[in-house]
Amino acid sequence: MSTLPRGWTVRRDAGLYGYERALRRHGIEPIAGVDEAGRGACAGPLVAGAAILPAGKAGIVPGLADSKLLTAKARERCYEQIIRRAVAWSVVVMSHDECDRLGMHVVNVEALRRAVAKLDVAPSYVLTDGFPVDGLGAPGLAVWKGDRVAACVAAASVIAKVTRDRLMDELDQEWPAYDFRTHKGYITPTHTAALDQHGPSPVHRMRFVNVRRAAGLEGPAIESAS
């Protein structure tokens, strides 16, 4: 399902918790949000998070917003609040090898499915960020910029982003020449220069055209880094 049931509306000024409130008013609960981090990176894993926040004040996470809009310290504070307050939460890590084998869209969808399935509490409804995802085991709604307008999706985005950032910090210790701690596997001038100088590391995604170019491989672009 990609729209709310007939007759249901969420006002534009309803705030970050408006979607959950609208669903609860019609007796639908628990409500899960799911999101990913690392799809556009050309190195490291893709990580998906899922979260179910409780109703009322207990589910209001101080400072919660789209993980991309928060500083690293603010994300860490939100992360601790989310895992303490959540009815259920989960995280799924898809390796760089799985990203290469399946392709980024397929691995993204699979990660989102696994994250929802891994929740200790089965949701009655699932909110996703941007595009609909089949096979979640519950009806759901794809919300445009969901990580900015739906609290449970924002919570899932923070879980995914903080987890992935920590993993990239660990990879930085193994492969310090690439400065993964700073750019987290996304393309920056520093990352490009390291690829040109050293070639790809074992944790780079070989489907990406810039990685293939640095490896001296022939062939058309398969994925483009962003």
Convert the pLDDT of each residue in 143-152 to its tens digit: 988 888 899 9
Residue type, 57: K
**Does residue 179 contact residue 165 with C-beta atoms inside 8 Å?**
no
- Does the pTM surpass 0.85? The reply is yes
pLDDT at 13: 52
Element (H, E) at 164: helix 151-174
- Buried/exposed 74-95: b ≥16 CB within 10 Å, e otherwise: bbebbbebbeebbbbbbbbbbe
198 φ/ψ sector (left φ>0, alpha ψ -120 to 50, else beta):
alpha
Nearest to 126 by CA among 110, 143, 111: 143
Domains of the chain: 18-168 (3.30.420.10), 173-214 (no CATH)
Q: Is it the case that residue 164 has pLDDT exceeding 70?
A: yes
Beta strands in the chain (DSSP E): 31-37, 46-52, 88-94, 125-129, 140-143
Question: Distance (Å, rounded) from C-alpha 219 to C-alpha 74?
Answer: 42
Residue 135: CB atoms within 10 A of its CB come to: 10
pLDDT at 67: 86
Q: Is it the case that residue 9 has pLDDT exceeding 90?
A: no
Q: Is it the case that residue 192 has pLDDT exceeding 90?
A: yes
Question: Distance (Å, rounded) from C-alpha 125 to C-alpha 127?
Answer: 7
Average pLDDT over every residue of 159-176: 98
Residue range 51-96, pLDDT digits in tens: 999 999 999 999 998 788 899 999 999 999 999 999 999 999 999 9
Share of the chain above pLDDT 70, in %: 90
Residues 6+ apart with CB under 8 A from 177: 194, 197, 198, 201
